[in-house]
A = this chain, B = another copy of it.
Amino acid sequence: MRTSITKVESNKIITKGYSQEDLINNLSFPEMVFLLFKKELPSEKELKIFNHILVSFCDHGLTPPSTQVARLITSSGSPLNVALSGALLSFGVNHAGAIEKIMDLLQDRLNNKKEITDEQIDEIAINIVNEYKDKKMNVPGYGHRFHEYDPRAKKILELATEEGFVSNHTKLALSIEKHLKNKKIRLNIDGMNGAILSDLGFKGINGIGLFIIGRLPGLIAHINEERDNENIFRKLYELEDIPYIGDEDKVL
């Protein structure tokens, strides 16, 4: 067991090289998050967009399975940390898994090239769209089961444009959207934030972690609401809501 993150001595705690007193004194929480994920602190401009991204993950009501799980576990009487833990177990493949996939895809194809023209980006986008079409798969980060366009993605793009934060990964993500045949399939919040986080220098593997940090307060709000306002161990389905489609009348 060894670590480069935090040194603990009696009465002294150092994290990422700084005393925790110094960090507590000088950093906002989003800066602290940034520092724990990366080697450096964000610039003022980076911090602004980073805050927008974290806020945009905050909540999506009762629709996600993670939120339903958190409430079911709470209704069963388990404490907040346990209900939150259950919620996290549904993230990662079909649920919030797209953010890592699009980050990997964008970063892999751009491969850190700085000098690249808009035409070259369009070419990469067209290739991606065609590849996924051939594989009969959807490009990750596009389309939403409830929204035609995701209002969060639209606002993030607007702010990124205003604040001068649109760089190559975001350009590539937008170009993919432009070249998708189905015009109703738009960048969703995972796709948009994955693109911006790539421009911020985050690796794909960090996408889900940042999503979880952003979503946690919303999950906690749902847990609090369930505990404070609903019956314990409530029946979400009556027996007649659950059709049985198996065998009957067998005897041993």
Contacts and interface: CB of A to CB of B under 8 A. Distances in A.
A244 B16 CA distance: 11
Interface string A1-41: 11111111111111111111111111111101100110000
Interface size classification for chain A = 35 or more
A196 to B, nearest CB: 12
Copies per complex of this chain? 4
A55 B23 contact: yes
A4 B151 CA distance: 20
A78 interface: yes
Interface of A: 1-30, 32-33, 36-37, 51-52, 54-56, 58-63, 65-66, 68-69, 72-73, 75-86, 88-95, 97, 145-152, 154-156, 159, 205-206, 208-209, 212-214, 216-218, 220-225, 227, 229, 232-233, 235-237, 239, 241-252
B92 A78 contact: yes
B29 A159 contact: no
